[in-house]
Structure 1
Amino acid sequence: MIEIDVSLARSTGFTLEANFTAPGEGVTALFGRSGSGKTTIIQVVAGSVKPDRGHVRVDGETFFDSSRGIDLPIEKRHVGYVFQDARLFPHMSVEGNLRYGERRSRRERTISFDAVVAMLGIAHLLARRPHTLSGGEKQRVAIGRALLSQPRLLLMDEPLASLDEMRKGEILPYLERLRDELKLPILYVSHSIEEVLRLSSAVAAVTDGKVIACGPLSDVLSRPELLPVIGRFDVGTILECTVTAHDERFGLSTVTFADGELRVPLVGRPVGAPARARIRSRDVSLSLSRPIDVSVTNRLAGTISKITRAEGPFADVEVALAHTIIYSLVTQESVERLALEPGTPVWAMIKAVTVDSRPAGFSSPGAEIVSPPAAPASQPSRTALPLRLIPGGTPPRETP
């Protein structure tokens, strides 16, 4: 278990108030807009930034405690750190970079050189120099170097941010394999909801230097109060499902969840496998009567439990099923015209569903039924603190 309760104030006016607990296994995403404080949080965990007060504990060991005067040196925290850019040593081969991380570790070896090379698919790269590698290949080598330092915790600071979509698609399966096979706790910084959905089991939502929610992904990312973090057009429902049928003729699969089933693009997993479905509120329309002779395949009956009128023309409507809340983004004009209010029975017509099959190793990318376009909220430029790479893949203490 990772316990963080720290505060920090900078002369620039930025303040950090982070109080959350992350699981001791799997990927916990620190999710939020650029400049929200995500990178500062993992720098605090690594030891390169010292908080003003609070504590940091990993698996029962105290890394930092202001009340007890504890501030464990970076090299004794045994934390692996992967940056946005790979920061490989240019004068060394790929094998040399990997061996460097291995040599610096003083911990008992729990993962071997050969295992890391096989897991990340980099055996054919060992003799090459960094300048001959693609961006995705460099990041895989950087991840391997961090793993060979035998870390107890892996910190990943937007490792895919500098890659184009094709390169991201190449490296994501390796991150999934790392997550599934090593069972290593990972704090993963990202402002990409697609990455978070694909990799994470838990999420800490960060905005303006504060962790405003933390918990299972399906709970956190379904909260409408997280609009400042997610963006109005990306708020929705996350469903943990099971694949129950395939229709090869039409290229569709059926997935079931607590309150019913959904027809989705063909999922490349066998019947009985887990799947994660995402339904964005902008892709849900409402009807007062059972929809007949419509093209929308997925229709669920429920009751309106809450309506929140937002600024501008929109309103957020929560539709309660027996165990699930479906979110719908409609216009305020529609609310008045249909006389919608809490207690009104409605049919939720789901126009698009995104599915990730979440396999226990390599996986195929998620598929998405075509949905109407929406302009995402603009994001401020990133203002992360500069860090230098030191042996073992961990960052040095920040200098004032």
Structure 2
Amino acid sequence: MSMSQVQSIRACFRLAYDQFDLHVDLNLPANGVTVLFGHSGSGKTTLLRCIAGLERASQGYLKIGETLWQDSENDFFLPTHRRNLAYVFQEANLFPHLSVRGNLDYAVRRLRAKDRAFSLEQAIELLAIGPLLERLPARLSGGERQRVAIARALAASPDVLLMDEPLASLDDQRKQDILPYLTGLHRNLQIPILYVTHSLQELNQLADYLLVMAGGKAVACGPLAETLTRLDGPMALDRQAAVVWRGRLDSHEAEYHLSHAEFAGGSLSLPYLELPIGSPVRIRVYARDVSITLQPPEASSILNILPARVLALSEIGQGQTVVQLAVGEEILLAHITQKSAMLLSLESGMTVYAQIKGTSIVG
């Protein structure tokens, strides 16, 4: 089965553990990055290991495209070594006695020529590891080792790429170094990537589709923008709630250290970005950085003031309310006090203005 033939992922598992019972029934997309998100012990890695066949769920059904990998009702279980997948762990796990080139060649040698849907040269270029090919793993930084591990995984031409917190062992600087390469995977690969993390930054920068795990269950699942903004889901109510808008860099104001991005709801002023005009960007807006006014302010230090419409409100406790707003074609969240919501007499359908006090670029 070639990578382009995978149309969907059907995954149903029940597996009892001491701390929780994994119990999921999922239909996942067969392209882009699906982020498995949740606190430690929520079941993210267990689910990934079930998909890889490293854990055998007592009740399980797994179909990748048209290929069946597990069906417990019919006592069928395809072992891991026969599943056309690649798994990137927290540690790179490179062969220490082989050079980078040797590690990559090992992955390629296991493939028949007709099964090579992703060339070794593509993997080397995408992860920018050409200058590292003759080095041994001991002479690589942590970020370089992970880039080689990802390139080795791609060289195996998998139908599915599984990544289990691949940045967890890196310090903040190394994480920042490698994230652009992961974004490159997101933009250039045509295979499904299942990516486990508890990092909001990685979620915001990489996810197309979001699966939120808690207590071994899927508590929210869907496209990123939709799942982040659902008032009946956990993400919009969280203290770190944010939306992620896709935009395109429109212009620079170098003298003010500002850039401007167009998105489906208008335009935003952002901290200066050293990117070419036209570059795609992801814009994260925290709900705590959004305030609401009934009239456009006549004079304000806030540059981003956008017309909006109230879609819904929900109380989140401790005197706080989350307001769901439509800004053009995009959804925005605002966390305000219940008193502010009352004084403004906010209700669904009202026209208001959203003031965005701060933005950050995440990809």
Taking structure 1 as the reference length, what is the TM-score of the superposition? 0.81
Q: Does 1:49 align with 2:32?
A: no
Q: Residue by residue, what CA displacement relative to the aligned partner does 1:12-33 show, whole Å, maximum 9, x if unpaired?
A: 1411122222222222111222
Alignment of 1:236-275 (within 5 A): 236-275=242-281
Give distance in 2, aligned partners of 1:250 and 1:11: 55
* SS in structure 2 at match of 1:62: strand
Quick check: 1-10 or 37-46, which moved more?
A: 1-10
Unaligned runs of 5+ in 2: 1-6
* SS in structure 2 at match of 1:174: helix
User: Is this contact kept in 1: 2:123–2:151, CA < 8 A?
Assistant: yes
Selected match of 2:157 from 130, 146, 150: 150
The amino acid of 2:136's aligned partner reads R
Cα distance change, pair 268–184 in 1 and its aligned pair in 2 (3 A): farther
What's the C-alpha RMSD, in Å, of the aligned pairs?
2.3
Selected match of 1:79 from 80, 85, 108: 85
Cα distance change, pair 275–116 in 1 and its aligned pair in 2 (3 A): closer
User: Is this contact kept in 1: 2:228–2:242, CA < 8 A?
Assistant: yes
User: Is this contact kept in 1: 2:15–2:59, CA < 8 A?
Assistant: no
Cα distance change, pair 170–238 in 1 and its aligned pair in 2 (3 A): closer
Q: Does 1:108 align with 2:115?
A: yes
Give distance in 1, aligned partners of 2:237 and 2:313: 18
Selected match of 1:120 from 88, 103, 127: 127
> 1:298: how far off?
0.9
Give distance in 1, aligned partners of 2:172 and 2:237: 21
* SS in structure 1 at match of 2:188: helix
User: Is this contact kept in 1: 2:11–2:63, CA < 8 A?
Assistant: no
Unaligned runs of 5+ in 1: 357-365, 367-400
Q: Give the structure 1 partner of residue 4 of structure 2.
A: none
* SS in structure 1 at match of 2:55: coil
Quick check: 315-324 or 69-78, which moved more?
A: 315-324
Q: Does 1:161 align with 2:168?
A: yes
Q: Give the structure 2 partner of residue 138 of structure 1.
A: 145
Cα distance change, pair 178–240 in 1 and its aligned pair in 2 (3 A): closer
> 1:221: how far off?
1.8
Q: Residue by residue, what CA displacement relative to the aligned partner does 1:240-299 show, whole Å, maximum 9, x if unpaired?
A: 333333333323233233332222223444444433222111000122332121101111
Q: Give the structure 2 partner of residue 26 of structure 1.
A: 32
The amino acid of 1:223's aligned partner reads R
> 1:214: how far off?
2.4
Cα distance change, pair 66–329 in 1 and its aligned pair in 2 (3 A): same
Q: Does 1:281 align with 2:287?
A: yes
Cα distance change, pair 67–235 in 1 and its aligned pair in 2 (3 A): same
> 1:48: how far off?
0.9
Give distance in 2, aligned partners of 1:242 and 1:84: 32
Give distance in 2, aligned partners of 1:250 and 1:40: 48
> 1:314: how far off?
1.5
* SS in structure 2 at match of 1:25: coil
Q: Residue by residue, what CA displacement relative to the aligned partner does 1:98-123 show, whole Å, maximum 9, x if unpaired?
A: 22222233572233333323332223
Give distance in 1, aligned partners of 2:207 and 2:328: 26
Cα distance change, pair 3–32 in 1 and its aligned pair in 2 (3 A): same
Q: Give the structure 1 partner of residue 96 of structure 2.
A: 90
> 1:169: how far off?
1.6
Selected match of 1:177 from 178, 184, 203: 184
Task: Tell me which protein shows more strand as a share of its residues.
Answer: 2
Cα distance change, pair 303–94 in 1 and its aligned pair in 2 (3 A): closer
Give distance in 2, aligned partners of 1:110 and 1:342: 50
Selected match of 1:10 from 1, 16, 26: 16
The amino acid of 2:312's aligned partner reads K
Aligned length: 356
The amino acid of 1:192's aligned partner reads S
Give distance in 2, aligned partners of 1:352 and 1:261: 14
Selected match of 1:39 from 32, 35, 45: 45
Q: Give the structure 2 partner of residue 398 of structure 1.
A: none
Q: Does 1:205 align with 2:250?
A: no
Cα distance change, pair 331–210 in 1 and its aligned pair in 2 (3 A): same
Quick check: 40-49 or 254-263, which moved more?
A: 254-263
User: Is this contact kept in 1: 2:12–2:26, CA < 8 A?
Assistant: no
Alignment of 1:185-224 (within 5 A): 185-224=192-231
Q: Give the structure 2 partner of residue 67 of structure 1.
A: 73
User: Is this contact kept in 2: 1:6–1:51, CA < 8 A?
Assistant: no
Q: Does 1:313 align with 2:319?
A: yes
Q: Give the structure 1 partner of residue 340 of structure 2.
A: 334
Taking structure 2 as the reference length, what is the TM-score of the superposition? 0.89
Q: Which has the higher contact order (CA 8 A, sep 6+)?
A: 1
- In percent, how many aligned pairs have the same letter? 39
